[in-house]
Amino acid sequence: MKMTTLLCAASLSCLTAWAGEVNIIANSDFEKVDENNVVANWKAGTGSRMEVVGEGVNGSKVLRTYSTIKVSNVLYRGSICQKFPDLTAGKYVLSGEFKGALGGLYLVVIYNKDASSKFAKWISADRFVKTEEAGWFKFSEPLEVPADTKDALLVIETYQLEKDQYTDLDNVKLIKQEDKK
């Protein structure tokens, strides 16, 4: 029994080292859906709408969010979210890919259900970074999770100029950065 445990631990350690990174976000490529094509592990924000479609990077599925909520004279918002019940303190990178008629992207991670304790980043259209895939852009933002964090909520808000325009999201990741010793 002891030898089996050691072998399993060694194998897990090697697999983790081989992979080089562990994504905290469940179903980050939006491939897991139920029989009604509802994406697993993600929720639409209040008043928002989302669906899974097959037009992603490298032909994969993507999560399409629709901007349905008017937030100003010129902007409509859509949002999606996912909970992390056991997020640990440390440095992370939040990244992903997106496309659509987007005016901006707002990334938020709320710690311990306290809206005043959060990471928040607004990315305006003039700061979008193109990918090699036609029409696709990417984001990559470092963040630090505080020491007293027990859980967290990731919120991704998309902003468009017209109601019901959509944004496609793919490969959303939250990767913990290991300390180099």
Q: What is the pLDDT of residues 77-106, one digit of tens each?
A: 999 999 988 888 999 999 999 998 788 899
Domain tally for the chain? 1
Distances (CA, A) of 27 to 31, 77, 104: 7, 23, 24
Cα(172)–Cα(75) distance, integer angstroms: 24
In a domain, 77, yes or no: yes
In a domain, 8, yes or no: no
In a domain, 15, yes or no: no
The pLDDT value recorded for residue 18 is 42
Residues of the chain with confidence (pLDDT) below 70: 1-20, 58-59, 179-181
Q: For residue 97, what are the β-bridge partners? A: 138, 170
In a domain, 2, yes or no: no
The pLDDT value recorded for residue 85 is 86
In a domain, 142, yes or no: yes
In a domain, 105, yes or no: yes
The pLDDT value recorded for residue 168 is 93
Cα(43)–Cα(32) distance, integer angstroms: 13
Total-model pTM: 0.83
Residue 32's CATH number: 2.60.120.260
In a domain, 1, yes or no: no
The pLDDT value recorded for residue 60 is 83
State the DSSP code for 180.
P
The pLDDT value recorded for residue 20 is 63
Cα(34)–Cα(36) distance, integer angstroms: 5
Cα(80)–Cα(97) distance, integer angstroms: 14
Range of the domain at 138: 21-176
